[in-house]
Amino acid sequence: MQKKYVVRLSGEERHTCEQVIDKLKGTSQKVRRANLLLKADADGPAWTDKLIAEAFRCRIQTVENIRKKCVLEGFDAALEHRKPQAPPKTLLDGEQEAKVIATRLGPPPQGYSKWTLRLLARKVVELEIVDSLSHETVRKTLKKTA
């Protein structure tokens, strides 16, 4: 079966992998990724994913993920395995959070004995504090203050 992500290492990248392996430079996971990339190299041994997984005692999915990362994000990203640096998006500012909490501390609507997350989310939208809000955002907001 034709592979979707074919790894082709340059001479410099191959040399970097060999140095990491020979000197055990970096974490054990980095050494493992260097081994996987070397064996997956189409211009080198070109082992199958199954053979690589058996040789290095990992899952086939791990080999496929490293192949994909190498092709899409580059050699360094695949070798170092950096996590994305995007900070989590905040949906409510401080003033809006305060209004959500104040609403929660008030009495529940008529016909209800207590506030539910979904009910509170609907009420916050109804009061035009925000345009839209999920119950999960309400839960996270209330959890931060608990």
Which sequence spans correspond to the domains of the chain?
Answer: 11-80, 94-145
The distance from CA 3 to its chain's CA centroid, rounded to whole angstroms, is: 24
pLDDT given for residue 81 in this prediction:
76
> For residues 117 and 114, what is the distance between their CA atoms, to the nearest angstrom?
10
pLDDT in tens, 96-134: 999 999 999 999 999 999 999 999 999 999 999 999 999
Q: Cβ distance 94 to 143 under 8 Å? A: no
pLDDT given for residue 84 in this prediction:
66
Dihedral angle sign, alpha carbons of residues 131, 137, 140, 143:
positive
pTM score, whole prediction: 0.58
